[in-house]
Amino acid sequence: MGLPILEGVPPRSPYDDLVHPRTRKAPSPQVEAERDLVVEDPSSGFVGAVVRCEKDVVHLEDRHGRVRAYPLGPGFWVDGRPVVLVRPKPQAPATPARSASGSTYVAGARARVAREGRIYVEGKHDAELVEKVWGHDLRIEGVVVEPLHGVDDLPGIVRDFRPSSGRRLGVLVDHLVTGSKESRIAGQVTGEHALVVGHPFIDIWQAVKPSVVGIRAWPTVPRGESWKDGVCRRLGWEDDTGYVWAQRILARVRTWTDLEPALIGRVEELIDFVTTTP
């Protein structure tokens, strides 16, 4: 005998338990857009790693160095599944195992009394970049970095400094290529206790990898035109080169991996030179 039918209540149907598929779909998980996370935009097929995350925007770089910006939120895939990208949570301050230069971080170490030796770089931007990446190492070693504001006065600076054993001088020069004015000046002052090395870049800006600042490559600027101003015009950046350096370039440098190897090797060479007693 079947179950009694209650008055006013319709009998159950075998289809009563069917549920629309959309009601069964679980919400996409939230994933923090941390640096180097590989993300796919299925609508365009673009796949890239997170290079930075701003307030509401994430920047992805593909294997060809192309960078695209997307609004944070749903519509992405990670590891073949849909996700909602969100800003990474602020991390509690912690003592890093490595410094920005990749060396072992010495927690709680007091800066060493400055050596008599010095490292000179061409300008303010050069000094700020070296400090940001190698600052920890320089304080541990007691090495002071000072800007030259150009290489024309280098012979006089070296003469006044009077390099000697225990008082070594290292100099980093922009665009040091064979036959250039800079190479001729470097040849005049390099000796047993003074070392001049250089990188091939026209300006220290170029020593920062293009992908770090969200561009494909540093633009070519014709000779005779101010290189920094020409770069800003061609990239549509602000015409204030000080602002561009501080906010668009230096602020995005985190570690030595954001720099070109041609600069990294030269800075390490100078630090070794001025801290080694012959």
Residue-wise pLDDT tens digits, 136-152: 888 888 888 988 877 87
Query: At CB < 8 A and 24+ separation, what contacts does 93-99 make?
Result: 98/255, 99/134, 99/136, 99/137
Q: Does the pLDDT at position 34 exceed 60?
A: yes
Q: Tens of pLDDT along 235-275?
A: 999 999 999 999 999 999 999 999 999 999 999 999 999 88
| Angle, helices 181-189/154-161, rounded to nearest 10 degrees | 10
The CATH number of 118-208+253-275 is 3.40.50
Q: Where are the domains of the chain?
A: 21-86, 118-208+253-275
- The one-letter code for the residue type at 255 is T
Point out which residues pair with 84 in neighbouring strands. 30
* Angle at 26 (CA atoms; ends 23, 27), nearest 5 degrees: 110
For the four alpha carbons of 161, 165, 167 and 173, in that order, the dihedral sign comes to positive
For the four alpha carbons of 172, 119, 268 and 52, in that order, the dihedral sign comes to negative
Q: Tens of pLDDT along 209-220?
A: 999 999 999 999
Rounded CA separation 168/181 (Å): 23
Reported as a pLDDT band with limits 50, 70 and 90, residue 9 is very low
Rounded CA separation 181/165 (Å): 28
Q: Tens of pLDDT along 10-25?
A: 555 555 555 555 555 6
Higher pLDDT, 105 or 129: 129
| Structural contact between residues 102 and 256, judged by C-beta atoms closer than 8 angstroms | yes
